Structure 1
Amino acid sequence: MATSARPRLVVGISGASGSIYGLRLLAMLRQLDVESHLVLSNSAQVTLGHESDVGVDELRAMADHSYAQADIGASIASGSFRTLGMVVAPCSIRTLSEIATGVTSSLLTRAADVALKERRRLVLMVRETPLHLGHLRSMAAVTEAGAIVYPPVPAFYARPATLEEMVDQTLGRVLDLFGLESPSVRRWDPR
């Protein structure tokens, strides 16, 4: 059975504010020739409409493959479908909580659960503040299960001039976690 020659990465977009992270991540993966597999929550579709001029169909077209949230039989719901792992960008607290408990109700959280059970990299770009104890406990639980909680905190040492530069720097560091080198990352140099 033939496998993809290109590396594959699953991208989940939840309904948290910050849909720009998912949008830019898909664009960066295309530049890096990484095969993208997109699933977005129903809430993500609403948030996208509030935060962007990009429509849902246009967003789906940015990915190599896109799946309906209810399609629990999709390839990304199976551990036999080989990927580098998954990034949820942005990740809502609801999505984080489902992943933390293993009680998944959608393809997005099922795909994340698969990444964990297969011991693949799972990066959750959690977008919430302030945090209460329940949020922190969920973050601890997913970390103990093997996920990486990666709030999109800007790196001001990179001196971003635009919002896109700030977002791309953060996403470039996320891609570092998968061994993918993005030209948008400004590495720290104290000189």
Structure 2
Amino acid sequence: MPDTRAPATPGPEEDVVDLLLAQHAQVEQLFLLVIGSTGDTRRDAFDDLVKLLAAHETAEEEIIHPLSRGLPGGGGDAMVDDRLEEERQAKETLRTLIAGGVDADGFETGVILLRDAVLTHARYEERYEFPQLRQHVPAERLRSLATAVRAAEKTAPTRPHPSTQSATGNLAAGPALAVIDRLRDAVRRPADS
């Protein structure tokens, strides 16, 4: 089985698996920063983490998971359904943490539990889904999918929305939710400064 945890290759040769692996590493670093800091540093790192997770999962739900469902050999539906359930649970936990804020009692415990769940989810993708993509999807298509994922992330919501967890749900409600989230972010930012 190929090592899917290799560092991302920048530029036009980067494929979608490289991009997602780099984002998994970025998520892990942000969790370390959130857990290891306090005050404004923690708040800013948590905000960055929330935005990255929301965009990353939206892009996976719109582009990667539908592709994985159709891979040869069967089992794609069960694999994707398991990943979607993990994502839904993480989104629910993330919404609870956002509502309470970084200064709330129990935030630290909650964010550690979330980190463990999110990183386990990422490892499952890296072990089961990504090798299948590399095995069955032509390299040129994987490179073009990196561009598609980046585009999807630019229009993705910046907060978790567990009810829009499918490609259809994201495409139908995602743009409106993204606008609402970005307006909320813009209003909130000056108050946080």
Q: TM-score range by the shorter chain?
A: under 0.3
Structure that is richer in helix per residue: 2
Which protein is bigger by CA-based radius of gyration?
2
